Structure 1
Amino acid sequence: MRARQLEYEALLVKRSDMEQTMREHLQMMEEQQRKKDEELMQMMAEQQRKKDEAHRKMMEEQQRTLVEQQERRMQLMAEQMREQLVEQIRQLQSRSTPK
C-alpha cells in the first residue's frame, strides 16, 4: 500500500512538473508571438513612414514643377508684352517721323 502511495505521489509530482513545463512553454511561445507582432508593427510603421516620405517628396516635386511652369509662362508673357510694346513704339515713331 505504501508503495502504491509513493507511486501515486510520484505521478502527481510528475504531472505537476509537466504542467509547469507546459505553462513555461506557453509563456515562451506567447512572448515569441508578442515579439513577432511587435516587429511586424515596427516594420509596417517603417513602410508607412517611407511611403509617406515618398508621397511628400512627390508632392514637393509637383509643386516645384508647377512653380517653374508658372515662372516660365510669366517670363514668356513679359517677353511678348515687351515685343508688343517695342512694335507699338516703332509704329508710333514711323507715323510721327516725316516722310
Structure 2
Amino acid sequence: MRARQLEYEALLVKRSDMEQTMRLHLHMMEELQWKKDEELMQMMAEQQRKKDEEHRKMMEEQQRTLVEQQERRMQLMAEQMREQLVEQIRQLQSRSTPKRKFG
C-alpha cells in the first residue's frame, strides 16, 4: 500500500512538473508572439512612414509644377500685354504723326 502511495505521489509530482513546463512553454510562446507582433507593428509603421514621405514629396512636386506653370502663364500674359501696348502705341503714333504733302 505504501508503494502505491509513493507511486501516486510521484505521479502527482510528475504531473505538477509537466503543468509547470507547459505554463513555461505557453509563457515563452506568448512572449515570442508578442515580439513578432511588435516587429510587425514596427514594420507596418515604417512602411506607413515611407508611404507618407513619398506622398509628401509627390505633393511638393505637384505644388512646384503648379507654381512653375503659373509663373510661365504670367510671363506669357505680360509679354502679350507688352506686345499689345507696343501695337497700340504704334497705332496712336501713326494717327498723330502729321502727314507730309509732297508737291
TM-score, structure 2 normalization: 0.90
Shift of residue 6, structure 1, vs aligned partner: 1.2
Aligned equivalent of 2:53: 53
Provide the rounded CA distance (Å) in 1 between the counterparts of 2:86 and 2:39: 70
Give the aligned partner of residue 16 of structure 1: 16
> Any idea what the Cα deviations from partners look like across 1:26-66, whole Å, max 9, x if unmatched?
00000011111111111111111111111111111111111
TM-score (norm 1): 0.94
Structure 1 segments (4+ residues) deviating >6 Å: none
Q: Per-residue deviation at 1:67?
A: 0.7
Unpaired runs of 5+ residues, structure 1, are none
Structure-2 separation of matches of 1:91 and 1:48 = 64
- Aligned-pair identity (%): 95
Offset at residue 12 of structure 1 (A): 0.7
Deviation at 1:90, TM superposition (A): 1.2
Q: Give the stretch that moved more between structures: 53-62 or 15-24.
A: 53-62
The aligned counterpart of 2:101 is none
Deviations 1:47-93 (A, max 9, x none): 11111111111111111111110000000000000011111111111
RMSD: 0.9
Measured in 1, the distance between the counterparts of 2:50 and 2:11 equals 58
CA drift at 1:16: 0.5
Tell me by how many angstroms 1:19 deviates.
0.4
Q: Write the distance in 2 (CA, Å) between the matches of 1:34 and 1:8.
A: 38
What's the counterpart of residue 70 of structure 1? 70
